[in-house]
Amino acid sequence: MGVGAKEALALDWSARLAERAQAYIPGGVNSPVRAYRSVGGSPVFAARGEGSRIFDVDGNEYVDYVMSYGPLILGHAYPEVVEALERTTRSGTTFGAPTEIEVEVAEEICAAVPSVEMVRLTNSGTEATMSAVRVARGYTGREKILKFEGNYHGHGDALLVSAGSGVATLGLPDSPGVTEGAAKDTAVAPYNDLDAVREVFSEIGEEIAAVIVEPVGGNMGCVPPEEGFLEGLREVASQYGSVLIFDEVMSGFRVARGGAQERYGVTPDMTCLGKVIGGGLPVGAFGGRAEIMEMVAPVGPVYQAGTLSGNPLAMAAGLATLKATAEPGFYERLEELGDRWKAGMTEAAEAGDHPYCVNGVGSMVSLFFTGGPVRDFSSAAASDTEAFKDFFWHMMSRGVYLAPSQYEAGFISAAHTEDEIDRAAEAAREWFASGGAG
């Protein structure tokens, strides 16, 4: 079905641009997730967005469930964000001097996110996690870190390790170019597996500077933390004097205004942010207890910097976004839309025989083509990616824009409507009812 579905979409101009792009940009994309390697075909080039909708260069219109992989919680071209950007641009876009709006953004973040007493702004989530790990190492005087299989923390060397061979595996690099030296201090445990965490700590706990975790897994599809997992991490990290870092680049201001730490009531020592806090512009941030953040230069000895960090444009888009999310009922509405998506997709999948698993936390959602439960990387990897590929093109042909990978979460914005979500579920139902792939 999917192959026909793909051909039903006119994507000629996208294909021509992809060809041009490939001559000068590796793979034709500036971030590999945008390539269509796992679904076949070439990337759909975006022309324009409006609210929940995205329009490609061939004039096809879709309801967008990618939302730039998370940042656009208000939808595309939200009027207050556009207006803030226009106004700010006219006054100069960067100064290399501090500006008032940085203070406002920092105040907003510290007020909303329970663990953050002080915050430093960066230009990407990758910078935020790299810096947080450096600060944790500086603070503890230790070198090792523990991360989880299938969690993504940007592409910094020490974090580009997910190993897979389980407990206490001291990392092998995931990518050529990452030295063994950079990877050897990174231990990896399966997500949602506290026993594995305790085992790692019983061996090398005294050497662990930080545990870094996505408190809601979002980079192996959406994988919620199981009851007790985050609490357990909190307990073990405290017991050994390690810094607990929640990487909330995706979940921050997404699964609740105060992120997963507010939603689950577990407070880490440090938090990384990005995506939503930039309102669609490049941004990241790391923060935490003042005592830890005072390690950062110029107050403390841990160096971290950025020419464009906290630049007025990113701050303006971010602040307008953060203010909109503070409106009463904002997250309740996202929660309702997410619940509707999950119920709709479950009902759709029940119309056929293909195994499935619907996961979601608030407006982060995933449909896996495996019987589930999907609770860690290996259960996510059991998903039938051939089925996903077919499903993907079917949905695209019905005007439902999804990330071209089984392992990306879907995102619902405040601009989506009940009707749009029902229509996505109806499109999915067609696919399941007709027998799915093959």
218 in contact with ligand PLP (CB under 6 A): yes
Quote the least distance from Cβ 214 to ligand PLP, whole Å.
5
Q: Which two tokens stand for residue 176?
A: 């050529």
| Per CB under 6 A, 214 contacts ligand PLP | yes
Site for ligand PLP in 229-268 (CB under 6 A): 247, 249-250
Out of 193, 247, 269, 384, pick the active-site residue: 247
Q: Which is nearer to ligand PLP, 9 or 116 (CB)?
A: 116
Choose between 152 and 401: whose C-beta lies nearer to ligand PLP.
152
Minimum distance, C-beta of residue 303 to ligand PLP, in the bound complex (Å): 19
Nearest-approach distance from CB 156 to ligand PLP, in angstroms: 9
- CA pair distance 276, 317, nearest whole angstrom: 10
Pick the piece of the chain touching ligand PLP (CB under 6 A) from 150-158, 224-232, 263-271, 345-353: 150-158
Round to whole Å and give the CA distance between 196 and 217. Answer: 17
Among 75, 125, 312, 338, interactor with ligand PLP by CB under 6 A = 125
In the complex, the smallest distance separating the C-beta of residue 152 from ligand PLP, rounded to whole angstroms, is 5
Separation of CA 212 from chain center:
14
Could you tell me the CA-to-CA distances from 55 to 25, 62, 389 in Å, in that order?
23, 6, 21
**What torsion, rounded to 10 degrees, do the Cα atoms 289, 292, 294, 300 define?**
-170
Q: Annotated catalytic, 12? A: no
Helix, strand, coil percentages (3-state) for the chain, rounded to 5, are: 40, 15, 40
If the CB atoms of residues 219 and 304 are measured against ligand PLP, the closer one turns out to be: 219
- In the chain, the amino acid numbered 401 is Y
The answer to whether 152 is a known catalytic residue is yes
Q: Which of 51, 138, 154, 252 forms a contact with ligand PLP (CB under 6 A)?
A: 154
Q: Which is nearer to ligand PLP, 223 or 425 (CB)?
A: 223
Contact, 400 vs 427, CB < 8 A? yes
Which residue's CB atom is positioned nearest to ligand PLP? 125
Kindly state whether residue 124 participates in binding ligand PLP, applying the rule CB under 6 A: yes
Q: Residue 152 or residue 201: which is nearer to ligand PLP going by CB?
A: 152
Between 411 and 431, name the residue whose CB sits nearer to ligand PLP. Answer: 411
Residue 342 is among the residues annotated as catalytic for this protein: no
CB 134 within 8 A of CB 212: no
Q: Which of 14, 88, 162, 219 binds ligand PLP (CB under 6 A)?
A: 219
Distance, in Å, from the CA atom of 310 to the CA atom of 119, rounded to the nearest integer, reads: 11
DSSP assignment, residue 309?
A: T
Token readout for 377 is 């990387």
* Beta carbon of residue 282, minimum distance to ligand PLP (angstroms, whole number): 7
Nearer to ligand PLP, 247 or 335 (CB): 247
Subset of 277-316 contacting ligand PLP (CB under 6 A)? 284
Q: Can you read off the two tokens belonging to residue 131?
A: 């810096």
CB of 129 to ligand PLP, least distance (A): 6
Give the total residue count for the chain. Answer: 438
Site stretch for ligand PLP (CB under 6 A), options 17-25, 151-159, 205-213, 293-301: 151-159
Contact 335, 362 (CB under 8 A): yes
Tell me how far apart the alpha carbons of residues 417 and 334 are, in angstroms, rounded to a whole number: 10
Residue closer to ligand PLP, measured from CB, 219 or 385 = 219
* Omega cis (within 30) before 373: yes
**Minimal distance, residue 411 CB to ligand PLP, in Å:** 11
Of 412, 388, 251, 281, the C-alpha closest to 337 is 412
Contact flag: residue 362 with ligand PLP (CB under 6 A): no
Catalytic residue (choose from 144, 275, 342, 389): 275
Bridge-based pairing state of the strands 270-274 and 357-361: unpaired
Choice from 148, 152, 331, 377 touching ligand PLP (CB under 6 A): 152
Min dist. Cβ of residue 64 to ligand PLP (A): 17
Q: Is 340 helix (H, G, I), strand (E, B) or coil?
A: helix
Rounded Cα distance between 114 and 158, Å, is 27
129 binds ligand PLP (CB under 6 A): yes
User: Choosing from 65, 69, 152, 356, which is the catalytic residue?
Assistant: 152
For residue 57, give the nearest of 69, 71, 43 by alpha carbon.
43
Bridge partners, residue 122, by sequence: 284
Looking up tokens 């439960």 gives: 373
Positive or negative, the CA dihedral 143, 196, 211, 248 is positive
Which parts of this chain interact with ligand PLP (CB under 6 A)? 124-126, 129, 152-154, 214, 218-219, 247, 249-250, 274, 284
Cite the active site residues. 152, 247, 275
